Amino acid sequence: MDTFYWIDKLVLVLVLFLISLGIAAYQTYFERKLAGWIQDRVGPDRAGPFGILQPIADGVKMFMKEDFTPANADKWLFILGPGIAMFTSLITSSIIPWGTDLQLFGRSISLQVAEINIGILFAFGIISIGVYGIMIGGWASNNKYSLFGAIRASSQMISYELAMGISAITIIMISGSLDLRAIVESQHGMNWNIFYQPVAFVVFFICALAETNRAPFDLPECENELIGGYHTEYSSMKLGLFLFSEYVAMFVSSALMAILFFGGYNFPGMDYLKDSPNLLSIISVMVFFAKIFGFIFVFMWIRWTIPRFRFDQLMHLGWKVLIPIALVNMLITGFVVALYEHWF
Amino acid sequence: MESLTNRKVVVSDKPMTFMEKLYIPAIIKGMLVTFRHILMRRKTVKYPEEIREFAPVYRGMHVLKRDEQGRENCTACGLCAVACPAEAITMTSAERTKDQKDLYREEKYASMYEINMLRCIFCGLCEEACPKEAIFLTDRLVPTQFERGEFIYGKDKLVESLDHRIDITKRQFTGKRGTI
């Protein structure tokens, strides 16, 4: 625990914070571009070349808007809501191993902010706190649409958290660790978990869509029935924080999926680069980000393809389909793992 | 009943098969459709930079023509007003005095000629009714206004100016309609 350790971590935290926000900002741009392409439109193309400055224009617009608090709203909770939503989305990125260690200044620098050995539990804990931001925001607005949105968000969270957790347990059983770094290391090269657990991946992916409130599970904020749901009463940068936290959450859950099922920063042929750890580190970070961007693309692709679920369909899918599938999958995995360890 | 199109589909409410209940094949099919659209060429015309060309027979804002010597063709016969299905045209006639011979082609002329552009449906019947080749529809757009009154166009806006003649040949000589 020397000073260099703290400097490393501080720099890493700062860089991660900036990267998360930057990626979230450009996700909004890419989302709109992709929506345009899918609908045979051009998408935003006025701000800068190809509309590349659009997120900045949007941010400026958000800041310039009047920050309005409804008369009967609970003022402190109203402020707390978007804060929690943003905080929980950002904090999860601290436990994610972004790449192999860098060798700089004669030291080995780990590209992971917090190397805690219960990383996956921490991630699930934080993700489930994320819904409190939505709930508090919806409740404090003192508006029935917001409240509906908040209730939907929380019931959706409860239904999908279970199946998500159970499908993650199968991964824990295979790799035998709760540490995200260990889970990634166990998928060295091309030995990814997706080849062993495709069913768990499908369940996890659907649940991740639901957890991040993305279409087709964007019931808490559906524009048509709930006029924006939990953020109906929000304006200015508070609304911006809510929308932003959704994109950060999408980024982080894509990272989690890449770690649990697609080998994190592992890529085939990484053993050839053993002699140059820095090159390996840089390439591994890039590979990891490529996987994340792939997931983000699929998230958006799905959003602009599939219509929204009805609420009873959502509950039916969660409780009667995904949880049984995840449970059966977990039992089979446990059985096979037990057999494998005792008889082979 | 005999089907008028080949798009008729018989709706059935048969229970879904197992594959249909999985939904995932259908979802993947839908996603492939949207992916194909990502790769398609955009048909968007980026308006201020690119302006889409009008059809040659486009019917836009009217013009009251003058002849080669700059005299107004209109004699205020009122046939255009009678032909107008939207009743957008109204006019008053007056008799030409001796010193107005270089202003108006015939003895009678329109002292007031108004088209209400909010009523006008740009059907072009006034143009067809006109026996004097006086009124034509052009490829110009009627500009937007904030007041309803400003859409009533008088002679000041309709009659072409002497030094800025309006070209009507594009619409008149397409070969797609009878010539004048």
Partner-chain contact A40 B37, CB within 8 Å: yes
Say what the pLDDT of residue A1 is: 57
Interface of A with B (CB under 8 A): 34, 37-42, 45, 202, 301-302, 304-306
Bridge-partner residues for B91, per DSSP? B113
The candidate with the shortest Cα–Cα distance to A299, out of A30, A73, A13, is: A30
Q: Cis ω on the peptide bond leading into residue A216 (within 30° of 0)?
A: yes
Q: What is the pLDDT of residues A213-248, one digit of tens each?
A: 887 888 777 777 777 777 788 888 888 888 888 888
Taking the CA atoms of A141, A142, A147 and A153 in sequence, report the sign of the dihedral they define.
Answer: positive
List the single residue in A40, A301, A304 with the smallest CB-CB distance to B42.
Answer: A40
Domain positions in chain A are 3-343
By percentage, how much of chain A surpasses pLDDT 90? 3
Say what the pLDDT of residue B90 is: 93
Q: How far apart are CA A126 and CA A120, in angstroms?
A: 10
Lowest mean pLDDT among A207-211, A278-282, B11-15, B174-178: B174-178
Nearest Cα of chain B lies from the Cα of A333 at a distance, in angstroms, of: 22
Taking the CA atoms of A288, A289, A294 and A295 in sequence, report the sign of the dihedral they define.
Answer: positive
Domain positions in chain B are 62-172
Give the residue from chain B lying closest to A44, CA to CA.
Answer: B46
Query: Mean pLDDT per segment of 10 residues, for chain B of length 180 residues?
Result: 78 82 84 89 84 85 90 91 92 90 89 93 91 89 90 91 84 64
The predicted model gives A205-209 an average pLDDT of 88
Nearest Cα of chain B lies from the Cα of A305 at a distance, in angstroms, of: 6
Q: Contacts of residue B33 in chain A, CB cutoff 8 Å?
A: 305
Residue A279 confidence class, pLDDT cut points 50, 70, 90? confident
The predicted model gives A33-51 an average pLDDT of 86
Q: Which amino acid is at A170?
A: T
Q: Contacts of residue A299 in chain B, CB cutoff 8 Å?
A: none
Question: Is residue A128's pLDDT more than 70?
Answer: yes
Q: What is the pTM of this model?
A: 0.78
Q: How far apart are CA A111 and CA A97, in angstroms?
A: 6
Say what the pLDDT of residue B153 is: 92
Q: Contacts of residue A37 in chain B, CB cutoff 8 Å?
A: 37-38, 42
Q: What is the pLDDT of residues A322-340, one digit of tens each?
A: 899 889 999 998 888 888 8
Q: What is the pLDDT of residues A248-263, one digit of tens each?
A: 888 888 888 888 888 8
The two structure tokens encoding residue A57:
């224009």
Partner-chain contact A306 B30, CB within 8 Å: yes
Q: Which residue has the tokens 């400055």?
A: A53
Say what the pLDDT of residue B2 is: 74
The two structure tokens encoding residue B41:
């060429």
Most confidently modeled range among A126-140, A169-183, A262-276, B144-158: B144-158
Question: Is residue A270's pLDDT more than 70?
Answer: yes
The complex's ipTM works out to 0.74
Return the H-helix or E-strand segment holding B93: strand B89-95
The candidate with the shortest Cα–Cα distance to B128, out of B90, B79, B64, is: B79
CB-based contact A162:A252 (threshold 8 Å): no
List the single residue in A41, A202, A305 with the smallest CB-CB distance to B44.
Answer: A41
Say what the pLDDT of residue B178 is: 54
Say what the pLDDT of residue B152 is: 92
Partner-chain contact A301 B31, CB within 8 Å: yes
The two structure tokens encoding residue A250:
């999408």
Interface residue of B23, B39, B44 to substitute, partner A, most A CBs within 10 Å: B44
Q: What is the pLDDT of residues A65-106, one digit of tens each?
A: 888 888 887 888 888 888 888 888 888 888 888 877 777 776
The predicted model gives A130-147 an average pLDDT of 84
Q: How far apart are CA B101 and CA B86, in angstroms?
A: 33
Architecture of domain B62-172: 2-Layer Sandwich (3.30)
* Residue B7 DSSP label: T
Say what the pLDDT of residue B102 is: 87
Say what the pLDDT of residue B176 is: 60
